[in-house]
Amino acid sequence: MMMMKNPLDPEEFRRQAHLVVDFIADYYSNIENYPVCSQVEPGYLTKTMPQSAPLQPAPIETILQDVQKHIIPGITHWQSPRFFGYFQSNGSTGNFLGEMLLTGFNSVGFNWLASPAATELEMLVMEWLLKLLQLPNSFSFSSSGGGVIHGSTCESFVCTLIAAREKRLQSGTKGDALGKLVVYCSDQTHFSLQKACQVVGISPHNVRSIQTKRSMNFQLSPDALLTAIEADVRAGLIPLYVCLTVGTTPTTAVDPLLTLSEVARRFGMWVHVDAAYAGSACICPEFRHFLDGVEGANSFSFNPHKWFLTTLDCCCLWVKDQSDLTKALSNDPELLKNKASETKKVVDYKNWQIALSRRFRAMKLWMVIRSYGVTGLQQVVRKHVKLAKHFEALLSADNRFEVVVPTNFATVCFRVAASDELDSNPLTQSLLESLNGSALVYMTHAVIEGVYVIRVAIGATLTEEKHVLMLWDMVQQHATHLLAKYISPN
């Protein structure tokens, strides 16, 4: 039997890594040649791949050939400049290099001693971002707060819900308190909050999804929130937690943070602000006003893995009182006891999250900020916003289309204009299916107040004006063809 080389031989790693980097660089050079959304059928890979693991090693050249032949056809190309679906998940050279470093170090920084650099770089980067976003000092390590990098918004929901739950249950609440706890959000809030509530033991029957209105640009109404809370209090229930959003998933609506926080404070509720998408934009002074009132929140999060040139997974969470997290999530097994932790002068991030292990995510975020600087990151945001505003203006100038809500950031929501003769919803749905069916672009939809809208999320790193103009040409052409089927000539 042939002896395998050391799996971490430095020179062999150097050789293979060069081949992989070349492969990825070629992928990005040719990314526009691929259909944006994968065209394969379900089960395609199981029909073409071996059904058992190989007994003998394969050379990297052969493996990369199989990636090209079998894997790439099954990828929906989120980094394509013609990907306008969901919210972007953009990346950058600085991020890729940061990922290489953090993977290469492969440290497991569950506490300070396990990797001091991992902990302290994370604290540093979170303080940098806090200042960029102009978050109040109460969220800073210099006060009683602090920041942590989680994997996703859902993880941050779970941790803050647990913190809020334990804080309320330990405050002397009597009886079957867990079954009485109520969580509030709008019907625009990301659905992962519902999942997080189930994880922490809050019944779906105790999650209030408050209806929003187009007349209010789909913001959560303070009056509607107050009405829902008062009704629950009269019923003997306990208001626990409200999620406010800056940049909702369907329409990028922005909730009025200040007035909603004031309502929640009257009932001793935990206020979480989710800015997963739009938080990145708030590093630009012209968008900072969307965070007015964030000082009334107990916690705040945003996802650099959406619009901050940082790939999955990376969700930044700040809390006003770090002890709310650590009291609810800490454990202290004998195996992990050490002098540094016992001094209480270091941060052990295992006590800020559900899992014990954690990646050195701060490395890639630090690399991104260092590689592009604040001005470079602001330029990325502003370019995408400018492209979105241009696309919105093109739609508004064509009476066949209707922009359903004002474009706050870089996501445009539109539909085929309704009329006495035409039902907008099926036409808009058919238009989206036609556009996506071309495989040249990809977009998603939302249904708001019964209205079917097409969402155009502009924000892939490689997207330029020519790609947006190409999309506009396609929208016009497909709409012309579609409407001709429904409107008979006189």
3-state SS of 429-466?
A: HHHHHHHHHCCCCECEEEEECCEEEEEEECCCCCCCHH
Comma-separated ranges of CATH 3.40.640.10 domains in the chain: 91-490
Taking residue 161's Cβ as centre, other Cβ atoms within 10 Å add up to 25
User: Strand order in 299-302's β-sheet?
Assistant: 146-150, 315-319, 299-302, 270-274, 238-245, 181-186, 207-210
Q: Say how far apart CA 469 and CA 474 lie, in whole Å.
A: 9
- In sequence order, what are the residues at sequence separation of 6 or more whose Cβ sits closer than 8 angstroms to the Cβ of residue 315? 149, 150, 151, 152, 153, 155, 156, 276, 301, 302, 303, 304, 305
Number of residues that this document lists for the chain: 490
> What single-letter DSSP state applies at residue 351?
G
Q: Output the pLDDT for position 325.
A: 96
Tens of pLDDT, residue by residue over 110-142, are 999 999 999 999 999 999 999 999 999 999 999
Q: Say how far apart CA 484 and CA 75 lie, in whole Å.
A: 34
202 is written with which tokens?
């809050």
Tens of pLDDT, residue by residue over 306-360, are 999 999 999 999 999 999 999 999 988 888 899 988 998 999 999 999 999 999 9
Specify the residue for token string 């590093």. Answer: 283
Q: Output the pLDDT for position 3.
A: 63
In CATH, the number for domain 91-490 is 3.40.640.10
Tens of pLDDT, residue by residue over 48-63, are 899 999 999 999 999 9
Q: Say how far apart CA 217 and CA 237 lie, in whole Å.
A: 30
The CA-atom distances, in angstroms, between 372 and each of 96, 311, 459 are 13, 15, 17
For the entire predicted model, the pTM comes to 0.94
Q: How confident is the model at residue 5 (pLDDT cuts 50, 70, 90)?
A: confident
Q: Does 1 have pLDDT greater than 70?
A: no
Specify the residue for token string 């800015």. Answer: 275
Q: Does 490 have pLDDT greater than 70?
A: no
Specify the residue for token string 């630090």. Answer: 366
Q: Which CATH number fits domain 11-78: 3.40.50.150, 1.20.1340.10, 3.40.640.10, 3.40.50.800?
A: 1.20.1340.10
Mean pLDDT along residues 439-443: 96
Comma-separated ranges of CATH 1.20.1340.10 domains in the chain: 11-78
